[in-house]
Amino acid sequence: MKLTHNLRERINYKCIKNCNPEKRKETTNNDICKVTKSELDKLPVRCVGNWAYQKIYRLNQYFGIFSNGMKNKWNGLNYIELCSGPGRCILRKTGEEIDGTSLSILRHPSFNFIKKAIFIDNDETIIKILNKRIKHLSINNAYGIIGNYNYTDILEDIFSDFNKDFLNLIFIDPTDCSVPFKTIRFIKEYFKNVDFIMNFPYGTDLIRNIQGAATNANYPSRIKYLQFLGNEDYFDRNEVKNLAISSNSRKMVLDFFKEYIKNLKSIGLMYSESELVRNLYLLLFASGNPKGLEFWKKSQNISPNDQREIIFS
């Protein structure tokens, strides 16, 4: 049986559309649009590229198979999202607004199988907006909370209400390489039983700055990339220096990604695969269980095709 799940699409006629980066500096604050609000609920929306639909689609595809496939095999299932956003976004090219990752999961037909869901963002305004939207849905086992993912003690406090014996799905969605590897390691060690879906944003700041980070010890992004990767000596390696000299940023990003996968395996996330979203980022799945990878592959068999409908097998 196949279920359909729409993202409550609306055309927002007040959207300026096609704002370039300079214009967006004027019309948004932390990507929250200052020009218009949601046609659906009159709350603020986040300005995003049209490719965001692919990310939402692929996340929901996995969530459906994960929750249905595991609901009777564990005492409970949890969902956790880092860098959650306000729950509703607007596609800057078309002016169409849709549910973001958080609301699409909360409205998923299989969310009934989730014991608890939590949405973490470091922006207080965003969390207030998201919690208003969650309240509108009359859901009492989910909430947004302010949290800095750079500090594991803060995350430990946030996670303290979760049952560690449950199976957990973690979605991590930064706009750049800002979530440090120590956070991934901490979550894996804390929960034990966990599947990750992560936005690996190679095509944004990483591909533009990795050569500078490799060749200049004082480059602004260097420390961020090393923390993201989890290897303090990565840019000191001769093979990386040689790649930097060759000025081939794409090969450097590929090597960086391979090192990241290697580090995931070192903490028990042995099974991974990724899906390309435009030429901007990879949606990376990682799990310590081969069944998780089996579910991921099955869930990705149907591609987005730019349709405004999500189909769950």
pLDDT tens over the chain, length 313 residues: 233 468 999 999 999 998 888 999 899 998 999 999 999 999 999 999 988 999 999 999 999 999 999 999 999 999 999 999 999 999 999 999 999 999 999 999 999 999 999 999 999 999 999 999 999 999 999 999 999 999 999 999 999 989 888 999 999 999 899 999 999 999 999 999 999 999 998 888 899 999 999 999 999 999 999 999 999 999 999 999 999 998 788 899 999 999 999 999 999 999 999 998 887 889 999 999 999 999 999 999 877 764 434 333 2
Q: What is the spatial distance between Cα 276 and Cα 262, in angstroms, rounded to a whole number?
A: 19
Tracing tokens 């990795």 back to the chain, one arrives at 210
Q: What is the pTM of this model?
A: 0.93
Q: What is the spatial distance between Cα 54 and Cα 10, in angstroms, rounded to a whole number?
A: 17
- Give helix 207-215 / helix 249-266 axis angle, nearest 10°: 80
CATH of the domain at 219: 3.40.50.150
pLDDT score at 249:
87
Q: Is 212 helix (H, G, I), strand (E, B) or coil?
A: helix
- Give helix 181-191 / helix 249-266 axis angle, nearest 10°: 20
Q: What's the Cα-to-Cα distance from 301 to each of 57, 62, 133, 273, rounded to whole Å? A: 12, 10, 31, 13
- Upper half-sphere CA count for residue 185 (Cβ side, 13 Å): 16
The residue range of the domain holding 74 is 3-312
Domain count, the chain: 1
The answer to whether residues 282 and 276 touch, using CB atoms and an 8 Å cutoff, is yes
